[in-house]
Amino acid sequence: MGEASATTEDLTSFVERMGADKALRVEESLGQGFVRLRVAEAERRQAKHDIRCSEDIVIELLRNARDAGARRIFLATSREGDRRTLVMLDDGAGIPEEMRERIFDARVTSKLESVHMDRWGVHGRGMALYSIRENVLEAKVESSVMGGGSAIRVVSDTTALAERADQSSWPHVGKDEDGSDVIERGPRNIIRTCCEFALEERGSCEVFLGSVSEVVATLRARIRPSISQSEAILVNDLDELPVLERFRLAADAQELTQVAQACGLEISERSAHRIISGQIRPVRSVMARLMHAGGPKGRRVVDLAADRRGLRLSDEDARAFARAMEREFAYLADRYYLTLSDTPRLRVSGGRLSVTFEFDEED
């Protein structure tokens, strides 16, 4: 048999497609190989960089819920093979039905007059959910009610979007120089991400973390509905009620399964029976579990010398400076593929301020 050869029409079609693709990505050719990218292409490339692991998805979802006014946030996490599924439910402001797809577009935000600056950087540019969707297999608003919270489900491929190997260890908490609680050590996994957020937002947000069944059990046990069970019978569809309240109002295992699945929480009817019968126990909040786990109290993240004649940083300044150093470390992390294993440590000794960065040796 003779070798297949491309026809002139095939080559012409290929060149046209390549030209069309370039036109979609390039705003202006500047010569000598330099181009000015279109805004959409630049945003797409930035979004690919913004989300680099499962833990990045978690912190962006948490910040998004916080900025929506959520007081209680529930994260259900599971993994099957290479697929990581995250479902976050909250009691925040909710998302209008017509916006449930558009919130994943670039620069779409409800925070026109405000931008939130926290230890993880700037939030409120309308890029977080867009960045997540650009990096995962699926990102979807499963359910939402205006003024009654939301449920967002994200599915990622861990071969394309990495995560920490140890997803079961809890971090250790200790005290800094002023006696404030700080996370001292532990793998930078999904658990630690939730713990750091819960510590940072203590008093404003309560975070719960568990498996799908644990989260459903916790929602059913801990969320008190605004209406009674008898009043719920008169409601045509539980989906009309605030997201977190539906689980307690489910009349039986079959209805609990339907409520959970409508929020992106895949449980079997058998698991629903076990939840109702109390065989699957609710979990405590992340803060309660973190503080109960405790850990050695002798070690401090911020180790400042007690020499009264030398520099003595306040706890607030020390933590702010450590966070700034963590952000600056990103320059080396990008160039040398490094991952910080702990928060940068500060030490004052005589006339010297030292900053120690611990990174994973496997990198």
HEC-encoded secondary structure of 5-20: CCCHHHHHHHHHHHHH
**How confident is the model over 304-342, as pLDDT tens digits?**
333 344 567 777 778 778 878 887 887 787 777 777 777
81 burial type by CB count under 10 A (0-12 exposed, 13-18 middle, 19+ buried): exposed
| Domain of residue 105, CATH code | 3.30.565
Please, what is the average pLDDT of the chain?
81
The pLDDT of residue 32 is above 60: yes
Q: What is the pLDDT of residue 293?
A: 57
The pLDDT of residue 302 is above 50: no
In a domain, 297, yes or no: no
Does one domain contain both 228 and 327? no
Does one domain contain both 104 and 214? yes
In a domain, 292, yes or no: no
Question: Which one, of 245, 275, 242, 272, lies nearest residue 258 by Cα?
Answer: 272
Does one domain contain both 267 and 315? no
In a domain, 294, yes or no: no
Total structural domains within the chain = 3
Does one domain contain both 257 and 332? no
pLDDT band at 55 (very low <50, low <70, confident <90, very high): very high
C-alpha neighbours within 13 Å on the C-beta side of residue 344: 19
Q: Domain residues for 31?
A: 9-43
Cα separation, 47 vs 105, whole angstroms:
11
Does one domain contain both 269 and 327? no
Q: What average pLDDT does the segment 2-17 reach?
A: 52
Does one domain contain both 139 and 208? yes
Does one domain contain both 307 and 266? no
The pLDDT of residue 251 is above 50: yes
CA triplet 53, 58, 61: central angle to 5 degrees?
Answer: 130
Does one domain contain both 227 and 333? no
What's the token pair of residue 114? 């405000």
Cα–Cα distance list, 200 to 30, 31, 255, 262 (Å): 46, 49, 37, 31
In a domain, 1, yes or no: no
Does one domain contain both 234 and 316? no
How many CB atoms lie under 10 A from the CB of residue 135?
Answer: 22
Does one domain contain both 109 and 250? yes
pTM of the shown model:
0.70
Cα separation, 359 vs 363, whole angstroms:
8
% the chain with pLDDT above 70: 76
The pLDDT of residue 234 is above 60: yes
Cα separation, 185 vs 181, whole angstroms:
12
The pLDDT of residue 187 is above 70: yes
- Cα Rg of the chain, angstroms: 24
Cα separation, 255 vs 98, whole angstroms:
27
Q: What is the pLDDT of residue 246?
A: 95
Does one domain contain both 196 and 225? yes
In a domain, 288, yes or no: no
What's the token pair of residue 45? 């490339």
Q: Which of 28 and 252 is assigned the larger pLDDT?
A: 252
The pLDDT of residue 1 is above 50: no
Q: Which of 125 and 341 is assigned the larger pLDDT?
A: 341
Does one domain contain both 120 and 208? yes
Cα separation, 3 vs 6, whole angstroms:
10
The pLDDT of residue 2 is above 50: no
What's the token pair of residue 215? 């989260």
In a domain, 206, yes or no: yes
